[in-house]
Amino acid sequence: MTRRPPTAVDHFDALSAVVDLVRSGRARTRPELGAVSMLGRTVISQRVDQAIDLGLLEDAETGPSSGGRPSRQLRFNAGCGLVLTAVLGAAALDVAVTDLDARVQEHRHVEWSIARGPEETLAALDGHFAELLAGRSDVPLWAVTVGVPGPVEFSTGRPSQPPIMPGWDGFDIRGRLQQRYRVPVWVDNDANLLALGEARAAGAADEDMIFVKVGTGIGAGIVNEGRIRRGSKGAAGDIGHARVLEDNQVMCRCGRTGCLEALAGGWALARDAVTAVHEGRSRYLADVHREHGEITPADIGRGVTLGDAWCMTAVARSAERIGSVMATLVNFYNPACLVFGGGALTVGEPFLRVIEHAVRSRSLPLAASGLVIRGSGLGELGGVVGGAHLAVEALLSADAMAAWTPQGSPAGVEPGRLLVGV
């Protein structure tokens, strides 16, 4: 987007700061805004009035008096816009509509194979979005976000050679959705959205975090000082294809050999489970295979909870390998928190226990001191919630507000002008 003229900087920086301080709960009254922002009283008063005119803030009930005049409480009006947010998985879609606080108003989890390609998948997405918007026409749509299970060039919103998304390489997902919805669209890797959702749910505690998604594949999202770090092209965190084995026999679905996910990802365990069935090593898996004709990562996760010995050993070995890679990353990046989630294998204590041991026994004492290792708290909603945060934070930035506030709402503004952070 074009930078706004320098004379406007103070105005929109102040407007964005005022809205953000109220939205995040750090300030609830005009005097509190003065105390935490260093902005002058007149500027605060004018920017608050502007935010109220825009419908972003509202005067709520009167706050307790501290001797002088009572201060009116300010509240962020999260209901003044909607975000449509979707995460495409290998075998399912999560779609949701949220308010501007990323609170989910309605959510659907639908079985869907991403291998059906972009046209069919986005048409299905349109159908779900239309149903989610039905009955909400009084609130304008502000943005759409989509997470995909593969590398995304963040500046263009196009998948880049995604191993499990045939037909999607270079597809203009953003252009297709922007044309239809006439609002800004962000497309990101699913692990990044999971990381952002988790970081915002945890608050300041998780400002330096790595979120590791262990589902069918393996990926990671990096949060640094509260922001997602995507690297120069958007490929940061793609640890699933780090080579961990100097063995050319183990083929990965990316076409290379010895990748972490070819040994420890859900699809690799499902592959090994079929071999285990043929070798007669698990009655539980044999039953699953006979009944469904296949074995999924979720079946293996269920096997762990049922106490199946083969599943427990396989998942423990997977956790050990992932933990070993994470120990290297802990030494390199020194995060405050490692969060695991995003799939059937991370469910339950045993996985985290093995990870914890593998990470702590291999990382440097200083890097591991105070390190929190835990499971995700948001479950399958994490990605859609993260997507909503991504869009709303971008639209409430000073640059974006300079572009849309003259029109009163991001709806109807040329979407390209609002794609900040891209």
List of residues contacting Zn ion (CB under 5 A): 241, 252, 254, 256, 259
Closer CB to Zn ion, residue 256 or residue 360? 256
Q: Please name the amino acid found at residue 271.
A: R
State the helix-helix crossing angle for 382-395 and 190-202, rounded to 10 degrees: 80
Residue 340 beta carbon to Zn ion: minimum distance, rounded to whole angstroms: 20
Residue 253 beta carbon to Zn ion: minimum distance, rounded to whole angstroms: 7
SS3 content of the chain, % helix, strand, coil (to 5): 50, 20, 35
Closer CB to Zn ion, residue 252 or residue 327? 252
Residue 238 beta carbon to Zn ion: minimum distance, rounded to whole angstroms: 9
Closer CB to Zn ion, residue 11 or residue 241? 241
Residue 245 beta carbon to Zn ion: minimum distance, rounded to whole angstroms: 11
Closer CB to Zn ion, residue 196 or residue 326? 326
For every residue of 101-166, DSSP letters joined together read T--EEEEEEEE--GGG-HHHHHHHHHHHHHHHHTT-TTS-EEEEEEEESS-EETTTTEE-S-TT-T
Residue 196 beta carbon to Zn ion: minimum distance, rounded to whole angstroms: 25
Closer CB to Zn ion, residue 213 or residue 389? 213
Angstrom distance (rounded) from CA 388 to CA 393? 8
Residue 220 beta carbon to Zn ion: minimum distance, rounded to whole angstroms: 14
* Structural element, H or E, at residue 187: strand 185-189
Angstrom distance (rounded) from CA 318 to CA 303? 14
Q: How many CA atoms lie within 13 A of 175 on its CB side?
A: 9
For every residue of 306-318, DSSP letters joined together read HT-HHHHHHHHHH
What residues contact residue 131 under an 8 Å CB cut-off, 6+ apart? none
User: Is the distance from CB of 106 to CB of 132 less than 8 angstroms?
Assistant: yes
Residue 326 beta carbon to Zn ion: minimum distance, rounded to whole angstroms: 17
Coil, strand or helix at 213: strand
Helices and strands counted in the chain (H then E): 15, 14
Residue 363 beta carbon to Zn ion: minimum distance, rounded to whole angstroms: 24
CB atoms within 10 A of CB 233: 13
Residue 257 beta carbon to Zn ion: minimum distance, rounded to whole angstroms: 8
Closer CB to Zn ion, residue 237 or residue 387? 237
Angstrom distance (rounded) from CA 91 to CA 85? 17
Residue 241 beta carbon to Zn ion: minimum distance, rounded to whole angstroms: 4
**Cα–Cα distances in angstroms (integers) from residue 21 to residues 18, 65, 174, 212, 418, in the given order:** 5, 21, 30, 30, 21
Burial class (CB in 10 A: 0-12, 13-18, 19+), 76: buried
Coil, strand or helix at 84: strand
Closer CB to Zn ion, residue 218 or residue 398? 218
Token digits for 142? Answer: 């502000």
Closer CB to Zn ion, residue 259 or residue 358? 259
Closer CB to Zn ion, residue 261 or residue 399? 261
Closer CB to Zn ion, residue 173 or residue 264? 264
